[in-house]
């Protein structure tokens, strides 16, 4: 089966086993420094849609570190735009944006992960595994999650299998259960002394 791991930078990225072709997103190029499976680390492709500079003027990426990643792991870097810092140009391939948009008939991209999912679907991967794509921050949940789920749904409609790491909010309803169903709670955690069941508290009052 033709499969690929899409590696985000959310907390669950530490679960990534690096046991098949692995694509990183933006700052994931630093993952080899703290990866739990560092001896197995690989990054076949690195996708970047962000710009070199943040709105506050600080630099988003270390181009030298990314060039070192290419030398050490043979990583192919794919960017949405040319990335330049003075006379230093990041050695990369340009994302086939126009062709992808024409093929799928949509420009609904809310994050770099969306571009990666579209790329994997275009390349006919049969199984896509997501690690570190948690969408758990307020901004990600509000602005990016819908776009990621859109591309997952499009892929599922084409028969692609998806694996999502534990801890991610992707494809998970806000209440944890489908709409119309009651959330399930472990009462032993909520009420360890069974006070809701009428059991009297036997703890002695403080002196």
Sequence spans of domains, the chain: 3-181
Helix (H, G, I), strand (E, B) or coil at 202: coil
pLDDT at residue number 135: 86
Number of residues written out for the chain: 207
Judged by average pLDDT, the poorest of 85-99, 100-114, 134-148, 183-197 is: 183-197
What is the CATH T-level fold of the domain 3-181, as seen in this structure?
Rossmann fold (3.40.50)
What pTM did the predictor assign?
0.81
63 sits in which H/E element: helix 63-73
Q: Which phi and psi (to 5°) does residue 36 adopt?
A: -65, -35
Among 96, 90, 165, 180, residue whose Cα is nearest residue 133: 165
Residue-level pLDDT at 203: 53
Q: Which of 95, 102, 38 is nearest to 72 (CA)?
A: 38
Provide the mean pLDDT of the chain: 84
Dihedral of the alpha carbons of 158, 163, 165, 170, in degrees to the nearest 10: 20
175: Cβ contacts below 8 Å, ≥ 6 apart: 183
d(CA 24, CA 5): 8
pLDDT of residue 41: 86
């Amino acid at each position: 089966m033709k499969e690929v791991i899409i590696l985000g930078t959310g907390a669950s990225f530490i679960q990534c086993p690096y046991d098949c072709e692995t694509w990183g997103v933006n700052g994931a190029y630093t993952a080899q420094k703290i990866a739990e499976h560092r001896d197995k680390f690989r990054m076949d492709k690195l996708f970047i849609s962000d710009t070199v500079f943040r709105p506050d003027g600080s630099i988003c990426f270390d181009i030298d570190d990314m060039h070192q990643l290419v030398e050490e792991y043979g990583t192919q870097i794919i960017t949405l735009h040319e990335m330049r810092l003075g006379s230093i140009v990041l050695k990369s391939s340009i994302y086939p944006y126009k062709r992808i948009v024409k093929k799928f008939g949509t420009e609904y991209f809310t994050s770099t992960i969306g571009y990666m999912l579209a790329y994997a679907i275009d390349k006919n991967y049969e199984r896509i595994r997501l690690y570190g794509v948690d969408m758990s921050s307020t901004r990600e949940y509000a602005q990016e999650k819908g776009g990621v789920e859109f591309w997952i749904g499009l892929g599922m409609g084409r028969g692609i299998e998806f694996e999502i790491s534990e801890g991610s909010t992707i494809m998970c309803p806000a209440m944890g259960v489908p709409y119309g169903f009651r959330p399930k709670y472990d009462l032993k955690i909520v009420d360890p002394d069974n006070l809701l069941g009428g059991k009297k508290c036997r703890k002695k009052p403080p002196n």
